[in-house]
Amino acid sequence: MGEIFTKLEGGRILIKLDKSIYEKEAIMAAAYKMTDTCFIVVKLQEDNQFEVYFEPKNSQSEEELKAIAKNYCNEVLDQQTRLDVEKRYGNIRDLLVKQAFSPIENIKDKINI
Amino acid sequence: MRPYQLLPFRFHDFKNENMLLVNEVGEFLFSSKEEFNNMISYKLDPESETFLDLKSKQILTDTEIEPVIKMLATKYRTKKSFLYNFTTLHMVVPTLRCNSKCKYCQVSSKSEEAFKYDMDKSTAKRTVDLIFLSPSPNIKIEFQGGEPLLSFEIVKYIIEYAEQCNLTKKKQLEFVICTNLTLITEEMLKYLQNHKVYISTSLDGTMALHNNNRPFRNGQGSYDIVTKNIKKVREYLGEDSVSALMTATNDSLEYFTEIVDEYLVQGFSAIFMRSLNPYGSAKRDMYSLGYGVEDFIESYKRAFKHIVNINLNGTFFVECYASLLLGKILTPFSAGFVDLQSPSGVAICGVIYNHDGNVYVSDEARMLANDGDTTFSMGNVNENTYQELFHSDKIVSLIKKSCLECLPICSHCVFQSYCGVDPIRNYAEQGEVVGNRMMSTVCKINMAIFQCLFELIKENDKPTMDVLWSWITRKPIVMEKQVSHESN
């Protein structure tokens, strides 16, 4: 397996992620977590790939930007796991918050998991 | 069919291949990564200890879901109990005049002769009338400054009028005066004693640090008179009648352990290790007074370790911020601290009435206003009704934007149940109330302290845990030696 990213002109780095594996929410949440260190642009291509472009924000070196991009890949995995786990408990969180402030009749019928 | 049902929880890759799992109401558990992966892929053995632990923490269940939701809802309500009563803390600024010229003055105080910054009697009366319209059964009136003792007649008027109002309202009424203590007289002390007024003062540490940070307007140091008057306050009002706050400037960071020792010398049993807030002079002079957030965290951790050791050596001494966080982590209750609430406690838990009758959502909002930015003004006591002040679209909008549950990053943060939002700080630092969490100094400090506390909880060293619990319960630990001595 080659490098997980492509080097572009102007010191930028490109990472491609498969839309069939990662959701947009995970891609965006992970990108948000990197906003203090670099500029990020996310594009969806016709081949169902997300293209994520990284540009240095604080004059980072090429190696430093690579490290950020690699961390980003792990962060996307982490965010995707959170989304997957959330799906497994359906609307239980919403129900318990509602129930805390205004009792719900027939909770059982409203559980959607 | 799934063998068990996952319940709402948040997680965090903790340390050394461990995961920290926290359910929706703040109950937590550490697990190995392998156990975590088994759990989310429904491969846990229902007979295993891990499964039973997760079940007892209501992170999963293999029984009927409805009763579990009801139980979690009850716990959730307890965690959010600060919302029940509406505004409890009412800060009043009797004057903006001050005889000190603190380097970091965050309120932009005025000279002792600037009498136009005093609150007048009719504004004071209207302020108290509004305070008693709060539905809260508990009312704390806290005098802020300037230096409130410069306008002691108005302080007395507010206390006495509030007591008079309370004859019919019958609320749990408390008074606190935040003062530099340099102007306090025996006559004032007798008055404060008669009206059961609690004192909150400022002590920035050793003589050199305090005099450097908090000189009088003529440049002289205030340490000697402050420490002398702390003793005098205790003589009149009792040992526990006075607490102190410190503010850390760039000069303070390397002396954090010395500052703790100074608090001990002065007879305090607690300290609040507080970083500089970006308002007033502190913001204008951030270049000379400020420091990197990492530097503060390092100093805080050093002081924290020192404080734990002080306790382990037999002296009860609390770090207040850690104590608040630990209370939220280790008990089912909320903290009663505006900065650690979601939604934010601005206006709905604490509010401030400025000398001119203008009302602001928090002390920090008033600090911004004193610097010319009135974004967080709620109105004026002389012009607006209670409904207009507290139930405006502005307040509703601000509260809606200050729920951690909906904020980027916070919504997934494992520490969410224990943390809070300060929209005014976000605005002051980043120009808007939601702010970007990655650039928030408060978030960085809180994350570091949470990590430090959870590392101690994970280690579970009994003597250290006894110290942490003693901070929550505010009861000194009973040392082993004492027990054996007594039992002999």
Task: State the first-to-last Cα distance of chain B, in angstroms, to the nearest integer.
Answer: 61
Which chain B residues have a beta carbon less than 8 Å from that of A113?
5, 65
Residue A32 within a domain: yes
Task: State the first-to-last Cα distance of chain A, in angstroms, to the nearest integer.
Answer: 39
β-pairing verdict for B273-274 and B350-353: unpaired
Report which DSSP code applies to B328. Answer: H
Q: How many domains does chain A have?
A: 1
Q: Is the pLDDT of residue A67 over 80?
A: yes
Residue A98 within a domain: yes
β-pairing verdict for B242-247 and B172-178: unpaired
Q: Tell me what pLDDT residue B487 has.
A: 43
pLDDT digits (tens, 9 = 90+) for B63-78: 999 999 999 999 999 9
pLDDT digits (tens, 9 = 90+) for B7-37: 999 999 998 889 999 999 999 999 999 999 9
Which chain B residues have a beta carbon less than 8 Å from that of A39?
none
Phi, psi (5° rounding) for residue B100? Answer: -100, 160
pLDDT digits (tens, 9 = 90+) for B239-264: 999 999 999 999 999 999 999 999 99
Q: Tell me what pLDDT residue A2 has.
A: 66
**Measured between CB atoms, does B8 come within 8 Å of chain A?**
yes
User: Does this complex have an ipTM over 0.95?
Assistant: no
Q: How much is the pTM?
A: 0.93
Sort residue B205 into left (φ over 0), alpha (ψ -120 to 50) or beta.
left
Beta bridge partners of B297: none
Give the distance from residue B59's alpha carbon to the nearest chain A alpha carbon, in angstroms: 10
Query: For helices B320-330 and B462-473, what crossing angle results, to 10°?
Result: 100
Closest chain B residue to the Cα of A34, Cα to Cα: B438
Across the interface, do A32 and B24 touch by the CB < 8 Å criterion?
no
Q: Report d(CA B468, CA A111) in Å as an integer.
A: 39
Query: For helices B152-169 and B121-131, what crossing angle results, to 10°?
Result: 30
At B5, is the pLDDT very low, low, confident or very high (cuts 50, 70, 90)? very high
Give the distance from residue A84's alpha carbon to the nearest chain B alpha carbon, in angstroms: 9
Q: Is the pLDDT of residue A1 over 60?
A: no
Residue A1 within a domain: no
At B484, is the pLDDT very low, low, confident or very high (cuts 50, 70, 90)? very low
Q: How many CB pairs under 8 A join A and B?
A: 70
Q: Is the pLDDT of residue B164 over 50?
A: yes
Across the interface, do A93 and B8 touch by the CB < 8 Å criterion?
yes
For A36, the closest of B66, B77, B438 (CB atoms) is: B438
**For the domain B82-390, what is the CATH superfamily, name and number?**
Aldolase class I (3.20.20.70)
Q: Is the pLDDT of residue B1 over 90?
A: no
The boundaries of every CATH 3.20.20.70 domain in chain B are: 82-390
| Domain at A64, CATH number | 3.30.70.60
Which chain A residues have a beta carbon less than 8 Å from that of B436?
32, 35-36
Q: Tell me what pLDDT residue B479 has.
A: 67
**Measured between CB atoms, does A89 come within 8 Å of chain B?**
yes
Domain coverage including residue A98: 6-110
Mention every residue, 6+ apart, whose C-beta is less than 8 A from residue B453. Answer: B322, B325, B326, B329, B468
